[in-house]
Structure 1
């Protein structure tokens, strides 16, 4: 068995693998569209005796980390034929993919898991959740129309991209969408109507993508940049009251909802969504805006990564003295697996746990008390205090 890139002439076979594994069927039009926008060189296949046994795609994307774009490898379309499962093929493919991400400078990797325990074994960890809020007709949000107005418009990224990018920088791990992503993954896949809120200066300050069907409004995205645009969009939702029995709204877990609603006693469902993985720990630590105190003792992290051995070792984080960014010194683990600097001090944690902490999915204290971080409580508090507060969220899918 060896691993290579998918070839152009194998695209049809690759699509059939995905249809079989994920139990869907594309129309001929959808099939041709898929071939047109999928780059075969982004897919790795495991081949034996001329037969493709398994495949995995890595999408070259970027996400916002504290307002800055960071290269991310999005893992998608992981498929093995049933007769070749449980033989380690996917693990080999994913390790190869991570090695290639490392070479390409993709510091992070995201994926939507079919099995969280499976991907945890290879270093990914949950970082993003979605909240689904369901409102009855009587609970429709109160809003003020104000001096602006909402317009239903044709799908056009020029109308909403600035709003999205401004909003996305406020969160951690949001996708930095480009034109291609908007057209294929948002306008094509999130079927519905696009409505934009414009203030009195005719500036777009919010938008929503929604669908009304069988007396139900499904809000797939709703983004506002200020309270004026929020109130205007809320009023627009309520203007549909004669058509609706309920509204189902996908949003952030800690967005202020449902507290800011007129009637917060609504149905809520929290859904585990995307997983993240640090591909290159040293590079990620170097760009991470830690809050460290000048002149304080270095924060020492002993990181273990059973899947990507290049991350194993000890990291010393010290304040640079300029913006509070950390100076990172990395001491790789010896081939035996032990650190060059034995953990007499500092915190010991896995790459999954480190990812959860730095992506603000879980606090260091929580993971310490659950036994996932070893060290002193004082060092745990120092790590927790060094991580800036910003909510993780992911609105997209691949």
Structure 2
């Protein structure tokens, strides 16, 4: 559409002004310069009205891990409209344009953080990531965890952090494949936070924690570990802050089992819907997806907003005989293949249709792995 333009550095001040207004924050001059530097990674499209920026969408080229494989992903961010231009379909057109560009870029997936889940469901994104939020009195962590090794605070060592993170990230579906610039601009940008590494008895790094302490609260930004020993060393380290903090706040994966390790598991635990995802290009995504074995299943997929995805697709390799058909929306297909919920879950509530035998076959075809996303954009 003629109203959609790719914005350039000449539009940066307008982009930042709209973001500050829409998301209700104020940046200092130094923060604005950092934001401008960060936006060099982005492609930003604007809807223009009489030469004025009315609405915008940012696309961030990223990659994520799905069953240990790297998939190109388009991160949608900074979606905003000035109030006088809202409810005129501008964002709808910008999102469709973004999907077209992502498909051309080979980005078979897209993630976003919604202001409202219902709004983005209309456009094919689906709830796929849920956070588990813990608030734990430190006295519950004051015990001998039995980890072998030690923890040391460091200034920063991206190479060590990255090795630990990457091994951990591949155990989930959806974690970002970070690069050095992402580490510097997004993860380690807060100079007030502390970093500590957990080492095994022979000095091998097995985990790290990024955190800060303020007003008697230890807030964990990231706690990452490659094995149970590393996890225990980090929990011991958190407990050692009992003289300066009363509780620890941390965010973990939805399937986290920390309550099983505590003598007293009664503490504040909340599940918080976090990010959404959608498959951008069904055919290309299915060709890359690591199905468990072969099948004669056909998925009849409906994608109302991006209808080039609508159609019938072979799931895994089949011989074309005795084909069975399952029917679902692009949202349900995304949720199943990323592992947020199992096919039987969607089937039980009527969002997945097919013969019971076909659903059982689909259950066997899709590997099991928890969705989790630590980053924000």
5 Å-filtered alignment, 1:217-256, equals: 217-256=218-257
Distance 2:201 2:224 in 1: 18
Distance 1:49 1:359 in 2: 42
C-alpha displacement of 1:229: 1.4
C-alpha displacement of 1:12: 0.8
Give the direction of change, closer, same or farther, for the CA distance of 1:138–1:308 in structure 2 (3 Å limit).
Answer: same
C-alpha displacement of 1:48: 2.3
Distance 1:201 1:165 in 2: 21
TM-score (normalised: structure 1): 0.90
Contact 2:198 2:205 in 1 (8 A): yes
TM-score (normalised: structure 2): 0.95
Unaligned segments of structure 2, at least 5 residues: none
**Counterpart residue number, 2:302:** 304
Distance 2:252 2:46 in 1: 36
**Counterpart residue number, 1:42:** 43
C-alpha displacement of 1:345: 4.7
1:136 aligns with 2:137: yes
Distance 2:234 2:50 in 1: 58
Give the direction of change, closer, same or farther, for the CA distance of 1:140–1:41 in structure 2 (3 Å limit).
Answer: closer
Deviates more, 1:97-106 or 1:217-226: 217-226
C-alpha displacement of 1:199: 1.7
C-alpha displacement of 1:145: 6.0
**Counterpart residue number, 1:117:** 118
**Counterpart residue number, 2:315:** 317
**Counterpart residue number, 2:352:** 373
- After TM superposition, the runs of 4+ consecutive aligned structure 1 residues lying more than 2 A away are 141-147, 317-320
Distance 1:140 1:101 in 2: 45
Matched pairs, number: 374
Name which of 355, 358, 364 aligns with 2:343: 364
C-alpha displacement of 1:314: 0.4
**Counterpart residue number, 1:346:** 325
**Counterpart residue number, 1:53:** 54
**Counterpart residue number, 1:339:** none
Contact 1:301 1:348 in 2 (8 A): yes
**Counterpart residue number, 1:106:** 107
C-alpha displacement of 1:40: 7.6
Encode CA deviations 1:309-349: one digit per residue, 9 max, x unaligned: 111100123437xxxxxx9x9xxxxxxxxxxxxxx951111
Distance 1:351 1:170 in 2: 25
Matched residue of 1:319: which SS? coil
User: Over the residues paired in the alignment, what is the CA RMSD in angstroms?
Assistant: 1.8
Distance 2:273 2:374 in 1: 12
C-alpha displacement of 1:255: 1.8
5 Å-filtered alignment, 1:1-150, equals: 2-39=3-40, 42-140=43-141, 142-144=143-145, 146-150=147-151
Distance 1:131 1:63 in 2: 20
